[in-house]
């Protein structure tokens, strides 16, 4: 098994769960508002379909060496989402399923040497395309707001996504100085994040807050009491606004897919 095999298996499972949820959405459900401002569930589903096609373009770039942008333009991306968002369920679900299958086929067929080639802007190795798709599937599954939430994110995603967020942490724009994780493997804490209080919570709650998928439920402010000790801060202990989510690839990714990531 290679890293790409592991990613492909994880993506198949995550996509299967997404499709199970999408299959339960009625026309009325799709027309209803999602948690994303200005987007219905139909926007979310359409975005996932067009995102899969856009990542096929990046893998085509890796396979052929011919620069193939992810989207022709931001305007074209947005227009496609708007046009597709109003479709009924009988058209949305097959599109979501078929676009995911096209991407899975491209992943399976990509030659081993192509995974090391730089793609996208800003550039990253082609293998990171699959990490990006996993992120899209897990996060936007939550955005459907239909029985799947941050607590359903698997361990592998929590570990990888928190690793990547820490690697691109916006210190200058940070609203917190540290994070204490109440579950999971090491590291149990992040320090040196910038100015602000220390917050704590379970990893899925911390991640949901950091990427704007919660208002801070399950995340509390703590005050340093002594070495290794914390006590609840005075007041409700609610966290400040989360720092901006860079949502980009970490610098210095290895060109050749490692055996494990992170």
pLDDT for 204-222, tens place per residue? Answer: 999 999 999 999 999 999 8
Task: Look at residue 144 and tell me if it is in a domain.
Answer: yes
| pTM, 2 dp | 0.95
- Quick one: 134 and 80 in the same domain? yes
Q: Does residue 89 register a pLDDT over 60?
A: yes
Domains in the chain, number: 2
Average pLDDT, rounded, for the chain: 94
Whole domain around residue 209: which residue ranges? 168-232
Task: Look at residue 245 and tell me if it is in a domain.
Answer: no
Q: pLDDT tens digit string along 35-45?
A: 999 999 999 99
CA–CA distance, 16 with 19 (Å, rounded to integer): 5
Per-residue pLDDT at 230: 53
Task: Look at residue 196 and tell me if it is in a domain.
Answer: yes
- Quick one: 18 and 141 in the same domain? yes
Q: Does residue 233 register a pLDDT over 50?
A: no
Task: Look at residue 159 and tell me if it is in a domain.
Answer: no
- Quick one: 204 and 130 in the same domain? no
- Quick one: 76 and 144 in the same domain? yes
For residue 23, what is the domain's CATH number? 1.20.120.450
Q: State the average pLDDT over residues 113-117.
A: 98
- Quick one: 7 and 80 in the same domain? yes
- Quick one: 207 and 113 in the same domain? no
Per-residue pLDDT at 235: 46
Per-residue pLDDT at 187: 75
> How many CB atoms are closer than 10 A to CB 122?
8
- Quick one: 7 and 136 in the same domain? yes
Task: Look at residue 157 and tell me if it is in a domain.
Answer: no
Looking at 117, 148, 179, the residue that finishes a domain is 148
- Quick one: 129 and 182 in the same domain? no
CA–CA distance, 77 with 190 (Å, rounded to integer): 36
- Quick one: 30 and 89 in the same domain? yes
- Quick one: 128 and 176 in the same domain? no
Q: pLDDT tens digit string along 161-217?
A: 999 999 999 999 999 999 999 998 767 999 999 999 999 999 999 999 999 999 999
- Quick one: 134 and 16 in the same domain? yes
């Amino acid at each position: 098994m290679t890293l790409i095999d592991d990613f492909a298996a994880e993506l198949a499972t995550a996509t299967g769960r997404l499709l199970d949820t999408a299959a339960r959405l009625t026309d009325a459900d799709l027309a209803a508002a999602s948690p994303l401002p200005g987007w219905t569930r139909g926007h979310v589903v359409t975005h996932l379909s067009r995102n899969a096609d856009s990542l096929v373009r990046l893998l085509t770039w890796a396979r052929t060496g011919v620069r193939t942008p992810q989207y022709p333009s931001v305007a074209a991306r947005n227009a496609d989402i708007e046009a597709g968002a109003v479709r009924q369920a009988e058209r949305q679900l097959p599109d979501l399923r078929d676009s995911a299958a096209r991407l899975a086929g491209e992943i399976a067929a990509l030659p081993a040497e192509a995974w090391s080639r730089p793609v996208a802007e800003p550039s990253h190795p082609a293998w990171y395309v699959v990490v990006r798709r996993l992120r899209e599937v897990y996060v936007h599954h939550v955005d459907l707001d239909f029985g799947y939430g941050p607590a359903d994110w698997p361990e592998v995603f929590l570990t990888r996504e928190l690793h990547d967020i820490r690697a691109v942490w916006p210190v200058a724009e940070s609203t917190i100085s540290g994070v204490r994780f109440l579950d999971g493997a090491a590291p149990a804490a992040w320090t040196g994040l910038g100015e602000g209080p220390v917050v704590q919570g379970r990893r899925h709650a911390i991640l949901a807050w950091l990427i704007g998928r919660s208002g801070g439920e399950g995340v509390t402010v703590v005050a340093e009491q002594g070495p290794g000790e914390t006590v609840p801060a005075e007041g409700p202990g609610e966290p400040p606004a989360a720092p901006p989510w860079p949502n980009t690839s970490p610098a210095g990714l290895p060109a050749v897919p490692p055996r494990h990531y992170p």
